[in-house]
Every structure is written in C-alpha cells, then in structure tokens.
Structure 1
C-alpha cells in the first residue's frame, strides 16, 4: 500500500479534495491523523513543556543521530516506517492508497517528501485572503480569529511554497488551485485522480461522502454534498472595514508578489477585489488584532507551563 499526501493551509479545500478522492475504490483515508507533525516536530520549533524534560529528549536524539553514519537518512526512514505501519492499520482492507491530508503537514512538506520519495503529493493552493476570511467565518463566527492561526498563515504558507519550489518537476508532485477544482471540476479532477493512480468518475462530484473523525472540516462537510463554487467570490465581504483591509494589504505584502505568482495569484488583482468590501470598523477588530500580538507573546511563555505543571500535579495526585 502506498501513501499519498495533500499539502495545504487549513480552510483551503483539502477536506473537499480528500472526500472526492475517497470515492475511488482503491483509496482509504481518515479525517486527519496529525501524526507526521508530531514526529518531525520532535526536533524543531519551540520545545513544549513536558514532565519528562523535552529538552533532554531533543539533546539526546541529536547526539545519537550525529553519531550514526547516515543519521538523517535513518531518521527519515524510521519516521516513514512508523507512519506506514499506522496508515496500513487504519486503512480499509485491500486499499491501494492511504491519503493523509493533515493541514499542519505544510510546515514539514519538504521533510515528508524526503521520507516518502515515491508518494504522490498534491499541493492545494487557495487565495490566502479567502483562507483568512474562511478562518474568521468558520472559527471566529465572523470575528477576527486569524491571529490564532499565525503559524499556518505565515510559517506554514512559506514552508509550503519553498517545498513546492524544491520538488517542482518531480513526476509524483503536482499543484492545483482550489478555485479551479470547484469552478471546473470535470476538467481538473481527472488529472488529480490520474496523479494518485486512480480512475475518475464524474458521479464522484455528486453526493460527496463525509469523512468521520473529530479532526477536520465540519463546516464544509455539512454545507457541501457536491462540487460547488458558491464560496469563491464571497471573501471580500469579510474585509469590509478599513482595519481589515489594512491588515490584508500588509499580509499580501509579506507574502510578496513572487510567492503569490508561484501559487497562481496576482497581488494586484487580489488588492482590487479587496476594495470591493465595505463596512464599519468593529470593536472586536480593534481588540482582537492587537490582542493577537499579545497572545503570541504571552501564551507560549506563560500559560502553557502553568497548565503543564497543573496537569502534572493532577496526575501525581491520582496515583
């Protein structure tokens, strides 16, 4: 059994793609395993607080791998072998392909492709402002929630683009825009299915099944049972206030024209569409936008250790 990957930011249509692909007889999948970010994340990023001294785990692991003649290659093979064992157990009997579409795989896309060099991979792009609009609508109830997903919107997106650039031209890697998939599904979906080694049937675009699991997109599953382009042009309305438009322009500038072009978008076109939104400044925006900076400064350094100590005390008390 092979493993396939869908790399994308959250709210970029990965659940939609997963649901359609799951209709192929040879494909098996689960909502979101969240396995590979944990495995690759052992050695990178901010070390979490843990009772077993996470910093010691990292130091010892780095020392061990440094002593091995092919330490990095061994590490990648070990992760791939471990993950494959889990995927195979989770797959339906007789499955040819297991698809993992965990959003936070985006930060480790390059490492994942090195560990799974023959796996078919789909990079699924979506207009980044539409992603922000969907985050605010789905998880913020219309209020500003993008600050909570800074890791995805910045680190994740940049890592995803870098990984695509590094892998571009490989036969097992392809890119697709979410907008194209839903606007012209009968043209683009056959190419995606062929890339994953599966046969496409136009009936797959009707009555798309749910993917059971706690993780994943609950909103899109409930709202869309077939391929729909209904949401493509609604994102500017989420940036009606001058404050949100200011943030959006800064975000586009941070991404840059070159990165946007790699994804298939024009910075100028997005800015022009952005100006179509119109609305008043809300008090929640004035609070949550500055509060986002405070959140990222205080939360990792203060609250996580406190909760970790509290939970550790609770576990000890229960013994």
Structure 2
C-alpha cells in the first residue's frame, strides 16, 4: 500500500545554474519536506513511452514509436502503462520520505517532461525557479565549460537548456503554476519562502528560513552547486552581476547578446524579465578585451555540415587562429 500520493509531491524545475540547489536547501529547513540530490528518475521512466531523439546507443525515436504501437495493440494499453509508471514513481518517492511529509524532487531538466509530470501526478505541487537569462548563460559558460563557448554552444543538450527550458517553463508559468525569481529569493528569502510555504500549506512558525546547513547526502553530491552553495550559509547577492566577470571579451559579449535576441523571439519568460532591458545592460558593459574578429552565434550552434562553404572556411580560420584570438 502506497502511503505517498501525488498531493505530497513537489517538483522544483528550472534552467540549470538558476539557484535550484539554494532553494532546495532553504525549503528543507521545514521538517515537513524530505528530499535527495537530483534523482532524474522521472526522466528515465517517462522516456520509456515519450517520443525522443535521445541517442542511447540505438534509435530512441524509433524505439518510442514501436513501443507505443505495441502498447496500443491492447485496449487502453498506453493508459495502463502510464498508471504503472505512476505507481512505480510514487513507490520510489515513498522509500525516501516520512509518513505525511512532502517529497521534493529537485531536477532542473524536468523541463523536458512538464506536461507528462502534470499528466501522471495531477495533484502534485510545481515550483518553477527562474533567473536572469544573461546570468544563466554566463554561469553555464563559466561553471560547466570554463569559458569554452565553442563546446558550450555546440552541445545540443545545452542548447535545450538555453532555449527549450525558458520556453517550457514560461508556458507553465502562464498556466498559473507557482514561480519564484532568483533575484527576489536572494534579496528577501523570508518573504519569498513565506509565499511558497503558503502555496504548500505549510506553517513556517517562528523558524528563520533565510539560512541553511548542508547535511548528509548533499555534502558530497555532485548534484548541488559546489561553486557557491558550500561557501555560504545563507543567500547572498554576490552573484547578481557575476556575469560581468565571465563576459570579458567582445566575442563572448556578442554571443550573449545574440542569445538574448534569439530568446526574445520565442517569447520566453514574457512578463517575468524585460529582455530589452537586459540587452541594454549588456550593451553598457564595456570592460571586455578586444579580439581580432568574432563569429556570430549561429557559427557555433549550427552543425558544420549545414554551413555553407564560405561559412565553414571562416569558422575553420577562426578556430585556427584561436590561440592568438583573445577568447
């Protein structure tokens, strides 16, 4: 008998590098919430039937098509299979929580399966965390790629983080899901957490939720932010403008600007951030090193086989001069 039901589930979803580890630790100050480092468990389970282009050593898209056909050969086959997935998911959550508590699944890349999570767990709570997209761009570039924008932008996975995540999360926000801005969270954590706990119907009591202590399984996990979370015990404003240290060349500034322009076109985070204002702030940032010549965003995101011969030659020349070109 399952003692956990979906009304006791909380999904915390965001772009990577948006502060989800911080928010998770602050929420865990409540003894009504249990959690673990990122589980990714529902991504694995949902993709047993969700159409996908992910390459797992076989044609994943064709596998999904054929598996769905197989399920639909039986009456309500897909519906029944989803119910099995739902029960398995709840069973796995139950093993990691206490009777009557919420379980918080903090996995940013659940942005891929927001609709499926809603379908499987209609009574679950969803919290979406958003952050200034310029800060996200710079943080991924710095933290995950050590400034190597060529590897960063050529990664399909990271392109999804940059574009698909804001689009999906923005749509969810418009569907009246609860969200919090990173900038508001670090400026007034007690106020923002009060709003979130009201949504969860949890009484904060007199406890101070503006600080945290990393304990147990989180300490050595690679699924939490080791850059800032372990250096502090409370939210700090140090990282609001940290993008200025990362965007330190003309090339990086151009790439960041074109990213924001492309993001603007897909209407991501409408009414959450003013992208035009962010671009103006970026334009005013002048502490950058000049470089001999710079390439546009598309040169790094479009596969080389799809570039024209002049574009390919230009990119090859750029990469050849990379050791001289200040990057």
- Return the TM-score normalized by structure 1: 0.80
Q: Which residue of 2 aligns with 1:249?
A: 257
Matches within 5 A, 1:73-222: 73-91=79-97, 93-94=98-99, 96-144=101-149, 146-147=152-153, 148=155, 149-165=158-174, 167-168=175-176, 173-200=177-204, 201-210=206-215, 211-212=218-219, 213-222=221-230
Moved more, 143-152 or 133-142: 143-152
Shift of 1:198: 2.2
Residue 292 to residue 57, structure 1, CA distance change in 2 (3 Å): closer
Q: Match of 1:259, SS?
A: coil
1:216-255 Cα distance to aligned partner (Å, 9 max, x none): 3222322231121221122234223222222222222222
Shift of 1:24: 0.7
RMSD: 3.0
1:149-172 Cα distance to aligned partner (Å, 9 max, x none): 11211222222223333x32xxxx
Shift of 1:38: 1.7
1:36-90 Cα distance to aligned partner (Å, 9 max, x none): 1122223322142437x75664244211332344445434333221111111112
Residue 243 to residue 39, structure 1, CA distance change in 2 (3 Å): same
Q: Match of 1:121, SS?
A: strand
> In the aligned structure 2, how far is the partner of 1:49 from the partner of 1:257?
32
1:255-309 Cα distance to aligned partner (Å, 9 max, x none): 22673453511122101111232311469x8799855545999xxxxxxxxxxxx
Q: Which residue of 2 aligns with 1:312?
A: none
Q: Determine if the alignment matches structure 1 residue 240 to structure 2 residue 244.
A: no
Answer 1 or 2: which has greater helix percent. Answer: 1
Unaligned runs of 5+ in 1: 298-319
CA contact (8 A) 2:26 2:211 kept: no
1:181-209 Cα distance to aligned partner (Å, 9 max, x none): 11121221101122223232552222432
Unaligned runs of 5+ in 2: 307-327
CA contact (8 A) 2:37 2:224 kept: yes
Q: Match of 2:104, SS?
A: strand
Residue 255 to residue 74, structure 1, CA distance change in 2 (3 Å): farther
From 7, 11, 34, the equivalent of 2:13 is 7
Q: Which residue of 2 aligns with 1:58?
A: 64
Q: Which residue of 2 aligns with 1:306?
A: none
CA contact (8 A) 1:121 1:174 kept: yes
Q: Match of 2:267, SS?
A: helix
> In the aligned structure 2, how far is the partner of 1:87 from the partner of 1:282?
51
Aligned residues: 290
- Return the TM-score normalized by structure 2: 0.78
Q: Match of 2:235, SS?
A: coil
